Amino acid sequence: MGSVAIVRQMDVVQGMLHKSVIALAIVPTNRSLTVTGRKAYSVMLHLAQMQAAAGTEGADGGFAAPLNSILRGFGATNSISSDAKKYIDQMVSTKVEWRPLSKSEQQLPLTFGIEGKEEGASPAQITDELRIFNLLAEVRVYKRAGENWVTWYYPPSIREELVSPSRWAQVDFAVLRQLTTYCAVALYEICARYRDSPAGVTSRQHWSWWAESLRSSPTSKVRAWRKFKNEFVAPAIKEINDLGDIEIELIEFRRGREVEFVQFAVKKSARRPERIAPVPPDVTNILRGGKLSIRDTVIEELERAYGVVAVTEGLERYERFLSGADRPRIGNAGAYLRTIIANKAREEAPAGQGAEPEKTAHVVVESRAASAMPASRRDVEDAERHRRFSLIRDQFAKLDAEEQLEWVRRVRDEADANTAPSPSIMKRLARGEWQSPLVQVMVIQHYAKSELGEDWATLPLTEFESLMAIDAGSERDVG
């Protein structure tokens, strides 16, 4: 039986990935594997399984797809070498150690002959096995009809088990796309293996096994279980239970007062996410941040804390600020962007509340669960809020330079008297740099409240636009 025939026997379902057990509990050994990289790898596995099932893989054993079907945000005009290289290189050069989920999986054959049988199989039982391999063996990136394409190859010894697994976990892309941390993605994929298990529990492993399997970086120190659980595992469990098609519960086994072994109880959730085609991770903000010398891990953290839209708007304000003449050099671009986004979130928060970006996983999950408003309604309100701010900012920009400086002086005096602004904010206010993303929201909101009243931000958009039109007409008449 040929390898293609083996693949066609598997029930390949659009929107569900049959992820081999050899790709579940994987520990990076030489470099970090980001959550975006891990999601992209799952999308590539699904594309490979679909192509193999249809018999459309390459004659040389490779699989091909447009780059945008793996990572959203790469247009045809993007530079392949600068934009895609780091993600492709991440999957080709990352070596991972496979951790079998159970002793029986140590007997899993990986090298197949032409008839689909394991080559060189030994009758002796295998124990304490260590397997290290690269996620991908080779990748080619090129242009086809003006579009960026990728062809990739898996290591020969694990190719069949990845493309046509004998043991797998059913990973739902509708769930995977919503998970925001590497720990949540890894934990979901491992626990999905036990969705239909009669025992309803994962294998029991030492807590360090779980800590190493759920972290993205091989260089980060394995912390005490209590700290790792509180910082990473607990938020991941909450996120999976709130968004996923399974529900998991942590079970700890103690020796005295110390936790020694850990496992997870797994059961199907009553929730059934809508089956969707695999959605490639969106790296649009990561690409824009890279051009501003902001690391992708910083962008991912900010998106978890504040949402994709807030980060997009923050990058836009940062880019506008840098496009002006005689702008000061920014020493830490990531910290500067964080300040921009946090300031805007703080300004938009209801009275008495502030932005709390540090509770990343909890904030993301609670906002999804608590918001009963349909996405379309939220989109409309976001667009109206952006429209109001843009109109009032444009009006402020038309003021004489001296009048602008007077407004900025008022903001500076008010901030100095009522709050404790940072030195960088006070410096920009003192210079009159109202277009700086650090102070622009403060200045424009102060101007809007003074000119239109305290309720300017909640006025119906039509009423707001009418007021702005009246003010514009008055200015023309005076002129």
DSSP 72-104: BT--TTS-IIIIIHHHHHHHHH-EEEE--SSGG
* Residue-level pLDDT at 469: 65
pLDDT tens digit sequence for 246-268: 999 999 999 998 999 999 999 99
pLDDT at 77 over 90: no
pLDDT at 21 over 90: no
Using 50, 70 and 90 to split pLDDT, how confident is the model at 117?
very low
* Residue-level pLDDT at 376: 52
Q: What percent of the chain has pLDDT over 90?
A: 18
Using 50, 70 and 90 to split pLDDT, how confident is the model at 126?
low
pLDDT at 202 over 90: yes
* Residue-level pLDDT at 475: 46
Q: Quick one: three-class SS letters along 237-272? A: HHHHHHHCCEEEEEEEEEECCEEEEEEEEEEECCCC
pLDDT tens digit sequence for 405-424: 888 888 888 877 777 677 77
State the average pLDDT over residues 235-256. 93
Using 50, 70 and 90 to split pLDDT, how confident is the model at 467?
low
* Residue-level pLDDT at 137: 92
* Residue-level pLDDT at 73: 56
* Residue-level pLDDT at 111: 47
pLDDT at 386 over 80: no
Using 50, 70 and 90 to split pLDDT, how confident is the model at 428?
confident
Highest mean pLDDT among 27-31, 85-89, 426-430, 473-477: 27-31
* Residue-level pLDDT at 333: 80
pLDDT at 86 over 70: yes
pLDDT at 275 over 70: no
- List of long-range contacts for 38-42, beta carbons under 8 Å, 24+ apart: 38/182, 38/185, 38/186, 38/216, 39/176, 39/177, 39/185, 39/280, 39/281, 40/70, 40/71, 40/87, 40/91, 40/280, 40/281, 41/91, 41/135, 42/17, 42/171, 42/173, 42/176, 42/189, 42/278
pLDDT at 381 over 80: no
* Residue-level pLDDT at 362: 33
* Residue-level pLDDT at 349: 62
* 70-79, 161-170, 184-193: least confident range: 70-79
- For 220, the 3-state DSSP assignment is coil
Instruction: Name the residue with higher pLDDT: 315 or 274.
Output: 315
pLDDT at 6 over 50: no
> Strand pairing partners for 268?
246
* Residue-level pLDDT at 36: 85
How far is the C-alpha of 432 from the C-alpha of 402, rounded, in Å?
10
pLDDT at 141 over 70: yes
* Residue-level pLDDT at 212: 92
pTM score, whole prediction: 0.61
State the average pLDDT over residues 438-442. 83
pLDDT at 369 over 50: no
> Strand pairing partners for 147?
144
* Residue-level pLDDT at 114: 39
